[in-house]
Structure 1
């Protein structure tokens, strides 16, 4: 999946936060809705300009960012 086709980072849009291309909807907004319990269908209903591919791109983007952060700053996991 080529994330640059679906997610952009533009300093003039939403303070440079990663957004769904062509919208002002941030990756973080979508992640918060999903983490809050909204289903994919509910998110797509609330944001008709989004597709299921956008939602997958948000998850891939977040996973890749988390991997980069974990690799750059090792941390302990509490047992």
Structure 2
């Protein structure tokens, strides 16, 4: 999938889940439309996306 993160072992891009949620679809709607997905996959995709976009700060070590 061109290096895009996918749902656990499926070739189903996380970005597709994000777009469906952003479009107002509920977990039940998404799972009924895509039966390979499980309800737990939706919050997992959202958590992944949030973590990927979060700012990370790494303290610098003092010079030796």
Partner of 1:25: 12
**What RMSD, in angstroms, separates the aligned Cα atoms of the two structures?**
1.3
Partner of 2:45: 58
- Offset at 1:37? 0.8
Higher strand content, 1 or 2: 1
Number of corresponding residues: 57
Structure 1 gap ranges (5+)? 1-13, 73-79
CA shift for structure 1 position 71? 3.6
| Structure 2 portions without partners, runs of 5+ | 58-64
Instruction: Provide TM-score, normalisation by structure 1.
Output: 0.65
Q: Which runs of 4+ in 1 moved over 3 A?
A: none
Post-superposition Cα deviations, 1:19-60, rounded to whole Å, max 9, x if no partner, equal 012211100000001101111111000111111111111011
The structure with the larger Rg is 2
Normalized per residue, the structure richer in helix is 1
TM-score when normalising by structure 2: 0.79
